[in-house]
Amino acid sequence: MLVKEFSGKSEKDAISKALEELNLTEEQVRIEVVEKGKRNLFGIGEETPTVIRVYYEEISENLGEFKSIVSDILKYMGITAEVTAKEESGSRIYINVSTEDSGVLIGKKGSTLEALQFLVSLIASKHFGEDEERHVILDIDGYRERREETLKHIARQAAQQAKKTRRAVVLEPMSPYERRIIHLELQNDKDVETKSDGEPPYRRVKVFSKNGGYNNRRYNNNNNRNRNSYKPYYRNK
């Protein structure tokens, strides 16, 4: 835990200076007022500044760099936004963008967000090197978290459908990030298995019942002969 003192004409002014200098948000710090500002008798003369003490965790150099990169991209796009970053684990950096233009940045079915994610991931791979296992996840106003819950629900529904009908259930085309969520959600279900199939950007997840037998094999044979003839069971709403 790091500690630093700041002063300003008011508590608000001191906090503003601290957050700007530290490149942090108010949620990332703990603030203690050391001395309240005072004016001389009758409010005449110079005022005594307010002094605050700020407690904060040291943010790695990588977080600061990627916050700046994302902020610059948004600036070039003409988007006003607040960018925050946190290290969720030793190999994952989560960057969230808060803006009134979230709809523009997310795009239809998250298409614009995925394009921005691809750009940031390219920068990350050049920065860290391909040999280092590190992921930078870009989010817009918590969209990914909401989408992740939706995908988990879709995965569970697909598993139930596959077990009930003993036929393969094919989901809509998804990004690698979204397909991974489906695979992870069902990896502990002993009655189903999942497989990614197709070419980007139409790569999708299939959910099979392990007891599907003939129906699954027949589906696979038909699907190999005519990949585009099958209508996905689930679609985005």
Written as six digits, the tokens of 210 are: 């392990």
User: In whole angstroms, how large is the CA radius of gyration of the chain?
Assistant: 25
CA dihedral 172, 175, 176, 178 (to 10 degrees): -70
Q: Give the mean pLDDT of 206-234.
A: 58
- Distance between CA atoms of residues 13 and 33, nearest Å: 12
Q: Please, what CATH class does the domain formed by 146-229 belong to?
A: alpha beta
The DSSP element (H or E) to which 195 belongs, if any, is strand 192-197
- pLDDT tens for 144-197 read 889 999 999 999 999 999 999 999 999 999 988 899 999 999 999 999 999 999
Using DSSP's 3-state secondary structure scheme, residue 13 falls into helix
Q: Report whether 2 contacts 57 (CB < 8 A).
A: yes
pTM over 0.75: no
Superfamily name and number for 61-141: K homology (KH) domain (3.30.300.20)
Give me the residue spans of the domains in the chain.
Answer: 2-56, 61-141, 146-229
- pLDDT tens for 121-141 read 888 777 766 545 567 889 999
